[in-house]
Amino acid sequence: MNDSNNTLNPWLVPVTLGASGIAGFLAGKLFGKRPYPANRALKQIRHDFASEGTITGSWIDHQQAPFQRFAVKTSAYRGGLTRLEDGEPVNYEFKVDAFTGSLLELKRLEN
C-alpha cells in the first residue's frame, strides 16, 4: 500500500486555522458592537411607559455618552419623557444602553 495518498499537506491545517481566525476577527470588527438605534430605544421606553399612563412628550439624545455602574462600563443614550399620573404631568429621565437598548437608569424628576 502506498501511504502518500492518505497524508495531508503539512500546511493545510495552519493555513486553514489562520484564515478562519482572520475571517472571525474581521467579522467581529464589521458586525460586533453595533449601536442600538436611539429612536428604537425611545420607542421601546414609550411603549413600556404607555401601559401605565398617557405619554405627553418624550425626547432622546442621539449622542452616546460614557456610562459606568460599579465595574460595568458602556455607552448610553440619555432621554426623558412626560407622563400623566392622576391627571398631573410627571417627568422622568432615563439612560439606555447604546448597544443593547436596555434601561440602565430611571429617575422621576420632582417638579
**pLDDT value of position 9:** 73
pLDDT at residue 25 greater than cutoff 70: no
Indicate left, alpha or beta for 45 from its phi (over 0: left) and psi (-120 to 50: alpha): alpha
3-class DSSP assignment, residue 1: coil
* pLDDT top residue among 20 and 47: 47
Separation between Cα atoms, residue 87 and residue 70, nearest integer Å: 37
**pLDDT value of position 53:** 84
Domain ranges of the chain: 38-109
DSSP code at position 15:
H
Query: Tens digits of per-residue pLDDT, 60-89?
Result: 999 999 999 888 899 999 999 999 988 899
Query: Tens digits of per-residue pLDDT, 33-65?
Result: 778 999 999 999 999 988 888 999 999 999 999
Task: Say yes or no: domain 38-109 is CATH 3.10.450.40.
Answer: yes
